[in-house]
Amino acid sequence: MKVALAQTNIIWEDKAKNEQRAIEYISQAANCGVQAIFFPEMSLTGFSMNTKLTAEMDKNTVHRFCNIAVQYNIAIGIGWVKKSDCIAENHYTVISGKGEELSDYIKIHPFSYAGENIFFSAGSEITLFELGNYKWSSFICYDLRFPEIFQIASRTAEVIVIPANWPKQREEHWKCLLKARAIENQCFVLGVNCVGNINNIEYGGSSCAISPDGKIVGCFENREGILIFDLEENVKELREKFSVKKDRKWDLYISKYKEEKGKD
């Protein structure tokens, strides 16, 4: 399966211009025979807390990209903000080449260090979907630091995509954690980040595709563009040959979590 990660320099809070740029990358990917393309977190606005401007009630971004997916016959992963009753939600939606919504994930861990938790409510569901011949899941940016949800998702998922707005200042964390999540879950991990100076924060990109054994299939450094690569490995076969997941002790982990939680 041929996949692309779109590493974009997001124009701050300008949905129209970012959508036009996204269409250019989608067209480029489709012409290269790509079956699915993924964009960074909050793809059309950047990591903005200005939810009065960015949040949508009508899923307009999703509807527009459903039409674009059909036009180019390509699956699309897009980040957007939903307006809820109290505060907003940070969403990542995956759309099939037929314009069908395959997955709509809400970020489970808002980035409290930057105050995201003040403006965004946390999600509580892990989403799973099928694309190509693989089973997928998705998380968003800061979620990468919480390995437990990856272990749950990878009981089914063979590919996990992580869209992000991950600053260059912590780039080594990004690379290290992507590899760790791939190795410990024995699945493909695809990290798609933004690049450039966005609202006075420097982003280094380093969008990466990591194989289930931790090898870098592709990595895109400090510039805009699309990273195209093939998902070829048989994840089930790898897991059967080196059956790490069978040795996990779920009951023990759960009991210890309950013990620790009881101490709070």
Specify the pLDDT at position 264: 76
Whether 115 is in a domain gets the answer: yes
Q: For the chain, first and last CA: distance in Å?
A: 46
For residue 192, being part of any structural domain is answered with yes
Instruction: For residue 187, give the nearest of 209, 163, 207, 211 by alpha carbon.
Output: 211
> Between the CA of residue 162 and those of 41, 97, 99, 189, what are the distances in Å?
8, 20, 21, 7
**How confident is the model at residue 261, as a pLDDT?**
87
- How many domains does the chain contain in total? 1
CATH classification at residue 168:
3.60.110.10
The rounded mean pLDDT for the chain is: 96
Q: What is the pLDDT of residues 164-186, one digit of tens each?
A: 999 999 999 999 999 999 999 99
Catalytic center residues: 41, 107, 141
Decide: pTM greater than 0.95: yes
Structural domain contains residue 218: yes
**Per-residue pLDDT at 3 exceeds 80:** yes
Decide if 205 is inside a domain: yes
For residue 192, the cross-strand partners are 163
Query: 158: domain range?
Result: 2-235
State percent of the chain over pLDDT 90. 93
* 188 located within any domain: yes
Owner of token pair 């740029």: 21
- Give residue-wise pLDDT tens across range 214-229: 999 999 988 999 999 9
Is 153 strand, coil or helix? helix
Q: Binning pLDDT at 50, 70 and 90, where does residue 263 land?
A: confident
Amino acid 173: pLDDT: 98
- H-type helices in 9-50, by residue range? 15-31
Residue 215 lies in a domain: yes
